[in-house]
Amino acid sequence: MSAVPKNPPSASRSTADWQAADAAHYLHPFTDFQALARKGSRIITRADNIYLWDSDGHKILDAMSGLWCVNVGYGQQALIDAATAQLAQLPFYNSFFQTTTPPAIELAELLAEVAPPQFEHVFFCNSGSEGNDTVVRMVRRYWDLLGQPERSVIVSRHNAYHGSTMAGASLGGMSGMHAQGGLPIPGIVHIEQPYWFEHGKGMSRDDFGLVAAGWLEAKIQELGADKVAAFIGEPVQGAGGVIVPPATYWPEIQRICDKYGILLVSDEVITGFGRTGRWFGCETFGFKPDLMTFAKGVTSGYIPLGGVMVGERIAKVLIGQGGEFNHGYTYSGHPVACAVALANIRLIQRERLVERVRDDTGPYLAECYAALAEHPLVGEAQTCGLMGALLLLKGKASGEAFPAAAEVGMVCRGHCFAEGVIMRAVGDRMIIAPPLVITRAQIDEMVALIRRCLDKTLADVRRRGLL
């Protein structure tokens, strides 16, 4: 057992105290518990704007917006006030039993205003995973109501991320997740991802986009169109490594879904609320989904909230045919979460953050990343709005990857930790998604830190004889 005094007051705890108590009791998500216990967690104690501070007082530039969610940055008083006022007024009431609360109604109304025109209705839940579980239930309910219950298969993609519940992890295409717990659940199948670097070499990106979308058509023909309910995808794969698809991909996916009458679902958990320079990623990529999953940026992560925007094609059937949809959560439409979301969306509107990403900071990040592409370690640099990826390669010209066992991405991430910038490593893809409030000067600061980490990683790989 640890030598930590039993529950000392938090103000008196040192970093080592926190780490010992953490290792003794707290099982973190997606974590090798033993390895973390040996190393000790980093304890984040406060934040402001785009910066975090840890329990040793180190300042860190948060280039991942927490976990792709703190779109308006930390410390926004309007969100804090909205939560406080709602907690005092009505901390909870549910939306079951023919009841609801003003914040839930107002948020539904505001979401219908900012979402693309086909969306007039929303179903609330608490996370992206629950949103995607809701998608599965809703898609199948739709086809049931239309008298086609056999139309139940949902097509997704390898290396997609759609959450960690049973349905979310099944929709996702992460082999490590499928290997634990007997996933995917029945009725969910996967096609290959539109990752040009892995699957499209020798083709132009645009030609590859059409080929990759064609894999959906091939899968539909293999299964029989009368069995396929929906296709789901993230406009830009986030957790898979910020994989920006060719411009031809989504319009072709749309054409195929339309041709076979298949529902199109856009998982906007990361790409929603301004991340790509439009309110939703489907607008950036030019397609018109029937359902959109959202979470994260809807409250900028200040409090959990997720949901599904329901397009008129589906709403007409769900509502019009009557009968109870047997699905929902205690906290669907939680008034405090909805009040925070309202304040968050109004702030995004007031500060014109979406336009800022589209016209100013997004293009500026693209310029900076084009310069980083010249770095000897960088084989590919991609951005979309305020998402970015740098692929670290052994052969800049040949496209040769480093051996996976060399864990070059993790080495780079280690330097990021030490230098005070948070970048995430997905294999050897180094990814960012900074808060949408980031300024040009702060982008300069972030890119300088990233460059320093690349230089240090380069020195390491040379020292190890990997280059």
Give the separation between CA 462 and CA 418, rounded to whole angstroms: 20
Q: Which is nearer to ligand PMP, 163 or 184 (by Cβ)?
A: 163
Q: Which one, 95 or 126, has the nearer CB to ligand PMP? A: 126
123 near ligand PMP (CB under 6 A): no
Nearest distance in Å: CB 326, ligand PMP: 22
Residue 287, exposed/middle/buried by CB under 10 A (0-12, 13-18, 19+)?
A: buried
Our finding on whether 129 is near ligand PMP (CB under 6 A) is yes
> Does residue 113 sit in helix, strand or coil?
helix
Taking the C-alpha atoms of residue 304 and residue 190, their distance in angstroms, rounded to an integer, is 29
Q: Which CB atom, from 163 or from 388, has the smaller least distance to ligand PMP?
A: 163
Tokens coding 243: 């994989």
Please report how close the Cβ of residue 268 comes to ligand PMP at its closest, in angstroms: 8
Residues 225-264 vs ligand PMP: string with x where CB under 6 A?
A: ---------x---xx-------------------------
Q: Is 270 in the site for ligand PMP (CB under 6 A)?
A: yes
State which residue, 168 or 246, has the beta carbon closest to ligand PMP. Answer: 168
In three-state form (DSSP H/G/I as H, E/B as E, the rest C), the secondary structure along 438-467 is CCHHHHHHHHHHHHHHHHHHHHHHHHCCCC
**11 token code pair:** 């103000």
Asked if 161 touches ligand PMP (CB under 6 A), the answer is yes
Q: Which is nearer to ligand PMP, 100 or 129 (CB)?
A: 129
- Among 66, 73, 103, 163, the residue binding ligand PMP under the rule CB under 6 A is 163
Contact 333, 101 (CB under 8 A): yes
Residue 210: what residue type? L
**Burial (Cβ within 10 Å: 0-12, 13-18, ≥19) of residue 214:** middle
Q: Which of residues 23-82 bind ligand PMP (CB under 6 A)?
A: none
Which residues in the 282-311 window bind ligand PMP by CB under 6 A? 295, 306
We find the least distance from the C-beta atom of residue 277 to ligand PMP, in angstroms, to be 17
* Closest distance of CB 291 from ligand PMP, Å: 13
Paired with 49 in beta bridges are 74
Q: Which of 66, 73, 128, 409 is close enough to bind ligand PMP by CB under 6 A?
A: 128
Smallest distance from ligand PMP to CB 324, Å: 26
The nearer residue to ligand PMP, 345 or 408, going by C-beta atoms, is 345
Nearer to ligand PMP by C-beta: 65 or 127? 127
Q: How many residues bind ligand PMP (CB under 6 A)?
A: 15
Sign of CA dihedral 131, 135, 138, 140: negative
Ramachandran region, residue 240 (left: φ > 0; alpha: ψ -120 to 50; beta: rest): alpha
Residue among 49, 127, 299, 361 that touches ligand PMP (CB under 6 A):
127
Nearer to ligand PMP, 128 or 274 (CB): 128
Q: Does 423 sit near ligand PMP (CB under 6 A)? A: no
Q: Give me the residue whose beta carbon is nearest to ligand PMP.
A: 128
Q: Which is nearer to ligand PMP, 68 or 364 (CB)?
A: 68
DSSP assignment of 212-243: HHHHHHHHHHHH-GGGEEEEEE-SSBSTTT-B
Instruction: Tell me which stretch binds ligand PMP (CB under 6 A): 2-10, 17-25, 266-274, 375-383.
Output: 266-274
**Beta-strand runs (E) in 192-313:** 228-233, 263-267, 291-294, 306-311
SS3 56: coil
| Residue 154: HSE in the Cβ half-sphere, 13 Å Cα cutoff | 29
Q: Kindly state the tokens that stand for 38.
A: 């040996």
Binding window for ligand PMP (CB under 6 A); candidates: 7-15, 159-167, 174-182, 424-432:
159-167
Residue pair 341/423 in contact by the 8 Å Cβ criterion: no
98: left (phi over 0), alpha (psi -120 to 50) or beta: left
From the CB of 360, what's the least distance to ligand PMP, in Å?
Answer: 25
**Are 156 and 233 within 8 A, CB to CB?**
yes
Give the three-state DSSP class for 300. Answer: coil
Residue 162 in the binding site for ligand PMP (CB under 6 A): yes
Region of 160-168, 179-187, 191-199, 400-408 interacting with ligand PMP (CB under 6 A): 160-168
Q: Which residues bind ligand PMP (CB under 6 A)?
A: 127-129, 132, 161-163, 234, 238-239, 267, 269-270, 295, 306
